[in-house]
């Protein structure tokens, strides 16, 4: 187990934690700063000066002064009242990532939350004790209040959690895991629920899954290109160097490598009556490359946000001040989520056109209509293509920006909000849609290449087809397709398709 360094935790570390159920530990070098902030808050709670969230009410009630003896009740009431989320439970990997991000934020030493409270979160993660966090209820400012309150409720022996595969009251889950609830001190409830960790966790999960789709589409696009006997001339390095976009250059290079050695490609270099392929073949590096660049932009934002202190007020120990600010406003996360959504939608849009190309006998360069053997008696992939069109259109709708929406809340005190939470949550649905589009493309591309026998595709793409054929045989006559689409989509989503053609990533998300 590697200690996470506050302010310097990487995307690769966060993805590894997202994809596992392992323990999480903050670098112990962070403890002095955390304890210094805690001491500053303790002193403020005993003082006469009003300090927001320490000895005052919250939001519109910030002008109400709270007596020192009521501090614990104030923080407990805050958590219970803010447990107002609704909807289905957040998936456990996202909730665990949210808890990890909260640890990273608190460990910056600007929140005033005690080290032992952080150790409880570490203990919950180590025991895989996952709070039940309803998915709906946050507008992305003032922080993800309701979702984080449901997390915190378990820490004080309230709420619900899942432990050892069973859903149970939070207090019982803690007891079974050998953990004890905490009594929250000054500002600790506010420090735990004020922040962008719910939105950021969902956005990161969407980013990690979208990147897998971007890599997988290089394989499915290459299969499609060979299946319709498309030209590889548009992949020439010189073309993309003249434009200069990193993503475009890398996508073209990856596709060149994947198709290298294809007999199908060599068979029509001379005497091909077609002058140019449709854009969905010819412009793949330009479109997918732009999506790759967009995902990397979002990744940069989210890596910064994952390491940020985002609650309010913040304890500036060196300056000796506790200051109200607005780091809880998740506008950067909302923009990043919108960027990811655009990339996911466009990868699916161009992939769907490749599916449509392969099933259209007027455009597929002599493939069977709808890739049906004995067409007429069999319909082949006719309706599978329609399914991809439906998913593509749904993703286009979902890609409309959420960050441009806002509504005033909390009696107009919180009068501009980010909508980052549902902007990030939608990404899981979009990525699932995309995995199914690419799954259908995988099925069509593989069969299209098999229809070119005795000519063969590249050895690399033959490995991808072999991986598919381990579980899905060629479509020689109509049969029940839904399970096969699901299997192909899982090959895409799991990373198994990319792993079948390369022992290393086809592209890297970071530098």
Judging by DSSP bridges, how do beta strands 160-163 and 130-131 pair with one another? antiparallel
Residue pair 428/209 in contact by the 8 Å Cβ criterion: yes
Give yes or no: 52 in active site: yes
**Beta strands, E only, 286-338:** 314-316, 321-323
278 burial level (CB within 10 Å; 0-12, 13-18, 19+): middle
C-alpha torsion angle, residues 182, 186, 191, 194 (rounded to 10): 110
Element at 86 (helix H, strand E): strand 86-89
Could you check whether the bond before residue 454 is cis, i.e. omega within 30 degrees of 0?
A: yes
Q: Contact, 359 vs 369, CB < 8 A? A: yes
358-367 contacts at long range (C-beta below 8 A, 24 or more positions apart): 358/224, 358/227, 358/228, 358/444, 358/445, 358/448, 359/385, 359/444, 363/228, 363/278, 364/227, 364/228, 364/448, 365/228, 365/229, 365/274, 367/227, 367/228, 367/448, 367/451
Does residue 304 contact residue 220 with C-beta atoms inside 8 Å?
no
What does the block give as tokens for 47? 């003082």
Buried b (16+ CB within 10 A) or exposed e, 184-198: bbbbbbbbbbbbbbb
Residue 85 C-alpha from the chain's centroid: 21
CA distances from 198 to 22, 189, 297, 466 (A): 19, 16, 20, 40
Between CA 316 and CA 314 the distance in angstroms is 6
**Using CB atoms within 10 A of its CB, is residue 68 exposed (0-12), middle (13-18) or buried (19+)?**
exposed
Rounded to an integer, what distance in angstroms lies between the CA atom of residue 379 and that of residue 369? 8
Nearest residue to 54 (alpha-carbon basis) of 79, 80, 75? 75
**Residue 426 CB partners (closer than 8 Å, separation 6+):** 337, 341, 398, 402
User: Which residues participate in catalysis according to the annotation?
Assistant: 52
């Amino acid at each position: 187990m590697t200690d996470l360094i506050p302010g310097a935790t990487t995307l690769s570390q966060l993805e590894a934690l997202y994809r596992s159920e392992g323990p999480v530990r903050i670098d112990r070098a962070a403890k002095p700063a955390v304890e210094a902030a805690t001491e500053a808050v303790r002193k403020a709670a005993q003082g006469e000066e009003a300090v927001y969230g320490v000895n005052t009410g919250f939001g519109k009630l910030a002008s109400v002064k709270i007596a020192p003896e009521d501090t614990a009740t104030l923080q407990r009431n805050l958590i219970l009242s803010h447990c107002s989320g609704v909807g289905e439970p957040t998936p456990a990997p996202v909730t665990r990532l949210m808890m990890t991000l909260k640890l990273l934020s608190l460990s910056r030493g600007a929140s005033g939350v005690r080290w032992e409270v952080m150790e409880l979160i570490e203990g919950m993660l180590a025991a895989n004790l996952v709070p039940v966090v309803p998915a709906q209820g946050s507008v992305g400012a003032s922080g993800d209040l309701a979702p984080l309150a449901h997390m915190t409720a378990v820490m004080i022996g309230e709420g619900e959690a899942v432990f050892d595969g069973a859903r149970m009251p939070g207090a019982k889950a803690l007891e079974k895991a050998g953990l004890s609830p905490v009594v929250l001190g000054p500002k600790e409830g506010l420090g735990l629920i004020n922040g962008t960790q719910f939105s950021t966790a969902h956005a990161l999960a969407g980013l990690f899954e979208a990147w897998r789709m971007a890599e997988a589409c290089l394989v499915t696009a290459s299969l499609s290109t060979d299946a319709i006997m498309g030209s590889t001339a548009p992949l020439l390095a010189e073309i993309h160097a003249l434009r200069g976009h990193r993503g475009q250059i890398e996508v073209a290079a990856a596709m060149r490598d994947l198709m290298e050695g294809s007999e199908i490609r060599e068979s029509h270099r001379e005497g091909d009556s077609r002058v140019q392929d449709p854009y969905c073949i010819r412009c793949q590096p330009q479109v997918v490359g732009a999506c790759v660049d967009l995902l990397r932009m979002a990744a940069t934002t989210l890596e910064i946000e994952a390491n940020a202190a985002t609650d309010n007020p913040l304890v500036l120990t060196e300056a000796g001040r506790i200051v109200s600010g607005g780091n809880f406003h998740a506008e950067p996360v909302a923009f990043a989520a919108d960027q990811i959504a655009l990339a996911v939608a466009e990868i699916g849009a161009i992939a769907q056109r490749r599916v449509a190309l392969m099933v259209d006998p007027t455009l597929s360069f002599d493939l069977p209509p709808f890739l049906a053997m004995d067409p007429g008696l069999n319909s082949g992939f006719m309706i599978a293509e329609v399914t991809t069109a439906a998913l593509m259109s749904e993703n286009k709708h979902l890609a409309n920006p959420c960050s441009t929406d806002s509504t005033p809340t909390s009696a107009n005190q919180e009068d501009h909000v980010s909508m980052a939470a549902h902007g990030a949550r939608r990404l899981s649905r979009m990525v699932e849609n995309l995995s199914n589009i690419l799954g259908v493309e995988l099925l069509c591309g593989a069969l299209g290449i098999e229809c070119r026998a005795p000519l063969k595709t590249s050895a690399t793409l033959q490995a991808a087809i072999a991986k598919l054929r381990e579980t899905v045989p060629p479509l020689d006559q109509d049969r029940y397709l839904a399970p096969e689409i699901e299997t192909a989509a899982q090959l895409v989503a799991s990373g198994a398709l990319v792993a079948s053609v390369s022992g290393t990533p086809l592209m890297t998300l970071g530098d």
